[in-house]
Structure 1
Amino acid sequence: MSNSTPDAPADISGTGPDAMPDAALRSRVTGEVQALHASFDAGTTRPVEARLEQLEKLRRGIRAENGRLAAALEEDLDKSRLEAAMTEIGIVGQEIAHMQKNLRSWLRPTSLNLGMLQAPSSGQLHREPLGVALIISPWNYPVNLTLSPLIGAIAGGNTTLVKPSEVAPATSAALAHLIRTHLDPEWVRVIEGAVPETTAILEQRFDLIFYTGNSTVGRIVARAAAEHLTPTVLELGGKSPVFVDEDVDLAATARRIMWGKLTNTGQTCVAPDYLMATPRTIEKLVPHLKRAAHAMHGSEASRSPEFGRMVNDKHFQRVLALIDDDKAVLGGTTQADATTRYLPPTILTDVDWGDPVMAEEIFGPILPILAVDGPDEAIARIREREKPLTAYVFSSDKDVEQRFATETSSGSLALGVTVAHVGAATMPFGGVGESGMGKYHGKASLEAFTHAKPVVKKPLKPDTLALVYPPHRGLKKALLRRIFR
């Protein structure tokens, strides 16, 4: 798998004078971060009531700015209002409600047993805020993937600097307006911009960096974090595979695959990236995939009000170059329109593992189909590549499902469904290996933005530790040897 996964907030690997922040920018960024450190040090964000109040302000702010956010998503990505509600704005509201409902109980200390050798004693696990968090968000789901981690940061009692993606400029501006208008600057601040701003931000010291984007920039973020020994949560991407077994309902399977593939025009980090099946299954499945695409967006998706566009010309040209018209059984380059950045739903068959479309995460409405002998080869193919963010299996055989669960590694595994599992607040979401590290959503978000601190208490009397104090002679020595043999 290539490291050029396109889901990036900014090309901060850029070089040259235009990529370097000037003194004024560095000073501004330093001032914002220092203000957040001062606010945290003052204890502003520690009370649970204050955290819940700030979450409520965020919830009300999203409601008040719903129209502005939806219009921005339409301008940047041509997302329909309904898709924006289902995949961005509404789902963030559900995440807030879930956090508000459970925050008190999740923050209660949990008891720890230190064992008989340390009795009498007691132990507890306390969740404490990390400090000042940085959230660098991407362009493909710019509202969801900015505000969802922000919920965890606020709930965890941190102050936060937010850097939205300049690749979705209208949404970046809408998010900046939301944060500055509805949230307290003692809690959250926002800096918009491109490479110079991101570079200046990464020079600062944070207590956690939460980055969503590609693995190339993820490495840059990790290197910058290492300068201050800052922990990171890296939500990256990868080529998420689909295996379709011979014994499933192919019509239902096709609908779920195409829905997951075409949502947000394929610009989804967990979109089905490529499909594997036996030649006999492929022959039967392809007509169902075509019908599913037509049922959702019509015979000409360019006229569908619910089918979006590529985010910019650069990404349009990159994905267009991955289409081999000789292998296209649906869509293809002849239907594409560079002036509107429209790429049609495209299905490629007879794809080889060495084809360009298999060299990188597609991040567009193209579904390559590759023939395999069966589950054995599909598992082997997944294992020989970098670990994906998710993997999908459609099979009626529980043994096949179990084999994929135990013999492959991915950030998540979805059986009989695509994409939808990412929206569940109760399910931790994150990658493994090349597809990322750390998880969030719901309780996992609180855990990501806090430190689980053990707190131990032991009374001074009786002094049971006297047994281990030196000198160790005679009966004491013999007893210790017996205990720790």
Structure 2
Amino acid sequence: MNDLALASPSPALWFKTLRRTGLREQCLKTFPLECVDLLKRSRVAFKAGRTLKESFRLAQLEALVRMLQDNESDFVDALARDLHKPRYETVLAELIFVKNEAFYAINNVKKWMQHQHVERNLTTSLDECVVVSEPLGVVFIRGAWCNPVQMCLVPLVGAIAAGNCAIISPSHITSHTAECLHRLFPFYLDNECFHVILGGTNELLEVMKLKFDHIFFTGNREEGTKVAQAAASSLTPVTLVLSGKNPCYVDQNCEVKTAAQRIAWARFHNAGQSMVAPDYILCHEDVKEHLVQALKGCLMHFYGPDPRESSSYGRMVNSEIFNRTRDLLCKSGKVSVGGQVNEAEMYIAPTVLTEVAENDPIMQQDVYGPVLPILSVNNIDEAISFINKQEKPLCVYAYSNNKKVISKLMAETSSGSFCSNDSVLQSLMVALPFGGVGASGTGSYHGRHSFDTFSHKKSCLLRSTRFECITRLRYPPYEDRNLSLVTLASTLSQKSQGWCQIL
């Protein structure tokens, strides 16, 4: 049992105590010390080879699954308290998603750990050329608050499968979920290799200046920039999965009712607090009114005449996110659906905005709330031009029955991921890499891609000392005749990968 983990207070009590006693500055000095201790312990365990065996990795992955299965009700309760999240969403989008990642890794980790043989040329035809996946060491994983279980534990699956030790930092914003992870980890995962720490952004920026072997961060762009800067001081490599304004194009040739259902589910589940939901819609003026009415009908079906009374609809995570979302709603476009707010409950109704201008506040900032702006475009080319004027998003969505429209949008825009005629699902596929590009992040994860993110690909050439009569051609004194022979032996053909493929 990890005595330090058991002795630590809950996040909610921790921050409450800081506010009451004014000890925040003192805590800022002591908090990194806790992480230094955990980092040292993890480093010792890693150097001792504790994580290297396949059996250890499988045992830890299986323990992670048991933790989720044994404590499902605790996670459901924690997320209900943090986000008013329905049990259905917690089980489906948080717990099952993580378990699927873990099962996929359990079924494939033996294959992933095997050496990868690569092609040879004439010079190395009798040698062995392999790529060895070796663990990086001790990695740091910071999860986002919008999906606090999923965004901590899915990267952890990859870190475990790759043979690393890990320190996990759940977001302090979802304090009950963070406390749940902090409490349960010591009972299931190896106490020397895997740890959960609690702290806010400022404290963690200090921690990230420590020498980890990799930092995996999920969050907004502002914090991601600070993380990258902090990591740069120790030359620590980072994976950044950052938010962005995800466009959704709705073509004139599409099933509007179906599109509305899928867009409404993606935008308004978890009360719109999602990094991968459609952020705004681009559509032709002829489609807009039909789409607005279809969205209105979907919301009535999903949540009833008053979503505030629905057990399937969540709340804003805190007053800061509530106030920010409400201000964006009030200062942008025209409310066509929803718009009701209740500050006491941190409730914002599912809202559709029309008459939105490109320079409205809601189009200038990322939206973590249940607000969906709709903008008019005249055609697919105008939509593509609009998308390409913005920073590269995490996701691009397109709804159309015309395959040429889908292909054009996919080919002529750049984003972390792309999905046609649905939303969000591409981010849940275990076999597909997920991550950002440009301003929406760097690196990717899920399935084998998580294993690769937390591995170093070591190139290995295994030679013998035989055939020195051939090798000596590269030694001085240099002769043109020898150069011709060496060039012939070491150069690949343009038309093929070389004769060496048949060896």
TM-score bracket for this pair, using the shorter chain length: over 0.9
CA–CA distance in 2 between the matches of 1:199 and 1:157? Answer: 25
Matched, 1:411 2:441: no
Q: Work out which of the residue numbers 390, 393, 396 in structure 2 matches 1:385.
A: 390
- In the TM superposition, what is the alpha-carbon distance from 1:117 to its structure 2 partner? 2.9
Query: 1:308, 1:93 → 2: CA distance?
Result: 23
Preserved contact between residue 265 and residue 365 of structure 1 (Cα < 8 Å): yes
Contact map agreement 1:44 1:186 (CA 8 A) in 2: no
Amino acid at match of 1:330: V
1:305 aligns to 2:311 (yes or no): yes
C-alpha deviation, 1:481, in angstroms: 6.7
Q: Is the 8 A contact 1:29 1:200 kept in 2?
A: no
Query: By how many angstroms is 1:199 displaced?
Result: 3.1
RMSD of aligned C-alpha atoms? Answer: 1.8
Would the alpha carbon gap of residues 168 and 270 (structure 1) be closer, same or farther in structure 2, given more than 3 Å must change?
Answer: same
Larger deviation, residues 134-143 vs 465-474:
465-474
- Counterparts of 1:149 and 1:481 in 2: how far apart (Å)? 45
CA contact (8 A) 1:135 1:161 kept: yes
Give CA-to-partner distance per residue, 1:48-93, whole Å, 9 cap, x none.
1100001111111111111111100000000011110011012111
SS, match of residue 26 in structure 1 = helix
Identity of aligned residues (%): 35
TM-score scaled to structure 2, two decimals? 0.90
What do the CA deviations read for 1:99-141 (whole angstroms, capped 9, x no partner)?
1111111221111112113332221111110000000111110
Query: Counterpart in 2 of 1:449?
Result: 454
Matched, 1:423 2:415: no
Q: Distance in 2 between matches of 1:127 and 1:338?
A: 51
- Tell me which of 31, 37, 42 is aligned to 1:25: 31
Aligned to 2:12: none
Alignment of 1:245-260 (within 5 A): 245-260=251-266
| SS of the residue 1:399 aligns to | helix
TM-fit CA distance, 1:230: 1.1
Of 231-240 and 178-187, deviating more is 178-187
- CA 1:471–1:205 in 2, change beyond 3 Å: closer, same or farther? same
**Equivalent-residue separation in structure 1 for 2:487 and 2:258 (angstroms):** 66
Shift of 1:26: 3.3
Secondary structure of 1:228 counterpart: coil
The answer for unaligned runs of 5 or more in structure 2 is 1-21, 492-503
| Number of matched pairs | 468
TM-score relative to the length of structure 1 = 0.93
Change (3 A) 1:153 1:144: same
Q: Which amino acid aligns with 1:185?
A: N
* Gapped regions of structure 1 (runs ≥ 5): 1-15
Q: Does 2:144 align with 1:162?
A: no
Partner of 1:319: 325
Deviates more, 1:206-215 or 1:190-199: 190-199
Change (3 A) 1:282 1:196: closer
1:338–1:245 distance in 2 versus 1, CA, 3 Å: same
Partner residue of 2:377 out of 355, 362, 372: 372
Taking a change above 3 Å as real, the CA distance of residues 355 and 30 of structure 1, as seen in their structure-2 partners, is: same
- What does residue range 49-448 of structure 1 map to in structure 2 within 5 Å? 49-324=55-330, 327-332=334-339, 335-448=340-453
Give per-residue Cα distances to partners, 1:221-253, cap 9 Å, x unaligned: 111111221111101010000000001111111
Q: Does the residue aligned with 2:343 lie in a helix, a strand or coil?
A: coil
CA distance in 2, matches of 1:22, 1:84: 33
- Residues 119/416 of structure 1: CA separation in 2 closer, same or farther (3 Å cut): same
How far apart, CA to CA, are the structure 2 residues paired with 1:192 and 1:149? 18
Amino acid at match of 2:139: A
When residues 418 and 23 of structure 1 are mapped into structure 2, their CA distance, relative to the original with a 3 A threshold, is: closer
CA gap of 1:326–1:30, structure 2 versus 1, over 3 A, is closer
Evaluate the alpha carbon distance shift between residue 342 and residue 118 of structure 1 in structure 2; reply closer, same or farther with a 3 A threshold: same
8 A Cα contact 1:20 1:195, kept in partner = no
Give the Å deviation of 1:478: 5.2
Shift of the 328–30 alpha-carbon distance from structure 1 to 2, 3 Å rule, reads same
| Matching residue's letter, 2:338 | G
Letter in 1 for 2:54: V
Shift of 1:146: 0.7
Relative to structure 1, is the Cα distance of residues 350 and 26 closer, same or farther in structure 2, using a 3 angstrom cutoff?
Answer: closer
Greater relative contact order, per chain length (Cα 8 Å cut-off, separation 6+) = 1
Partner of residue 9, structure 1: none
Using the TM superposition, give the Cα deviation of residue 190 of structure 1 relative to its aligned residue in structure 2, in angstroms. 1.3
Aligned-pair CA distance for 1:193: 1.7
Look up the SS of the partner of 2:345 in the other structure.
Answer: coil
The match for 2:9 is none
Rounded to whole Å, the distance in 1 between the matches of 2:29 and 2:288 is 59
- C-alpha distance in 2 between matches for 1:230 and 1:63: 34
